[in-house]
Chain A
């Protein structure tokens, strides 16, 4: 459980809060790169309980401004798109994609536009997403997470909007024991892989041992499952503080980074950065990534929300065909998260031994929030070589050693990507 004070400290991301300040020190993905075509309508976006407007000029450049016109606060979502600019429909003030006000037709002074305090934010496109820095001052480097260094045909980056607090989204990824239960029907249908990654093993042993340790990029946790034949099945997840996690998938070629980004206290974006660092992503992987979710990359979780009980198929449950009555593994996570409540009462929880990583994450965040060191990667820490790991290792092998060896090998293999 968390007491109310700590629950608020972690969950509350409104302007002025400690977590808001943390998120404003980092680049945040706000929409998929393919969402806005050149010259398309401006789009209102909400992040960190504030509203912005994004548009892509016909020259392909993208801009993110405060949603409200700096003049009288008319929404720029309503603006005209003209000459690589947004023109407010109220008094015709015109804002160029470069972030400058270039015309104010109702003001005679020609120097007037240059004095208009348009709030424009640094934007970058990488990893199939549009990243924005909402903080003050000089933006830091865009994180060199490996998918940010890859090209389009190596990526399948998708975004879902879920009706729950960002912490719920993070904690869903820090909860390894649900894998063999919530996703049990899915695991049984997953192609049995003879590779080192073995979701069947995850399902076979429902009560793994969990260990966590702090790192320069945040922390990592490992689940250790004794396999009966003297070997251990380990799954190591790397948490890039405060809100992103590399988790292991069924196929060693399929890499996945999940990130929970707050929209407001009751809504968050769940990002799925699937990537294939060693070459183009096969079409089969792309369709596997989409699964049975909705096709819109920028909002792939729509259908269940429109249906009673999220469209749960009770008949399939009665027939024993499906444990959850849901068909998509990602939907299963979103739906249980939403069912906990948009702002769950964490003072009423009862954590068990399987919840160590969740508790570790909360303590990590709380300790940092109460100190001078923000819950972010240590400045200058390289991230490009981080990946999750799933492997069968001899029972007497130390998982830390295996993790470090793998990481060192990746650091060498992918060093060239950093340019």
Chain B
């Protein structure tokens, strides 16, 4: 789905969210946002479920081996707030192998370090407490839940200032067909409004009524 990835690289979560709604897909994560202003991520989810240490736990290094160019580490920490599940050390490695950014259902730390690195991170928040005991890999490359959204490995991710959403891989074509005209209309309407057109007139000539998701 190169076309979808190309679209994700330039579109916004608000446009993609409208497209998801038109397809009847619930892909918008609740409670997860960028830890630094301007963070933007798009790519393909590489998932892992996080849990406190037990005998079956895997080491993070095993998970990090799955990451490659264009991937987005997606860590399901079930929203725990007692310690950070991601930080600038892992971010440095992820960036080196070409990951586009990380999404965590839980807390992260080293906000400043990630910013300096230029590595976008989306999480429930940032806090300095170590996740040493909490953040072990229970299972990698499995379906997870992020901000209430069911995510399969290989699903598409988009995150920006408004939050994070996921596009199921098997609905990629359908979502793309809805999103591409929405994105174009969005760009054109913005240009027309910047050029001085009124909101009513712009709605008239771009027929937004027919392309927005039904109320």
Contact = CB atoms under 8 A, between A and B. Distances in A.
A1 B196 contact: yes
A352 interface: yes
A58 B197 CA distance: 56
Contact of A350 (B192, B201, B206): B201
Contact of A352 (B188, B191, B192, B204): B204
B205 interface: yes
* Interface size range on A against B: 10 to 19
B195 A353 contact: no
A360 B188 CA distance: 10
Contacts of A359: 192, 205
Contacts, number: 33
Contacts of B200: 350
Interface string A344-379: 000100111101100110010000000000000000
B174 interface: no
Interface in A1-45: 1-3, 6
Nearest to A1: B197
B198 interface: yes
A3 B202 CA distance: 13
B28 to A, nearest CB: 30
A408 to B, nearest CB: 25
B201 A347 contact: no
Nearest to A353: B204
B195 A6 contact: yes
Interface string B51-84: 0000000000000000000000000000000000
Contact of A1 (B188, B198, B207): B198
Nearest to B195: A3
A350 B200 CA distance: 9
A360 B207 CA distance: 12
B204 A351 contact: yes
Contacts of A363: 188, 191-192
Contacts of B198: 1, 350
Contacts of A2: 195
Among B192, B204, B205, B207: residue with most chain A CB under 10 A: B205
Contacts of B195: 2-3, 6
A347 B195 CA distance: 10
9 smallest beta-carbon distances between A and B, as pairs: A359-B205, A3-B196, A353-B204, A352-B204, A3-B195, A351-B201, A351-B205, A356-B205, A1-B197
Interface of A: 1-3, 6, 347, 350-353, 355-356, 359-360, 363
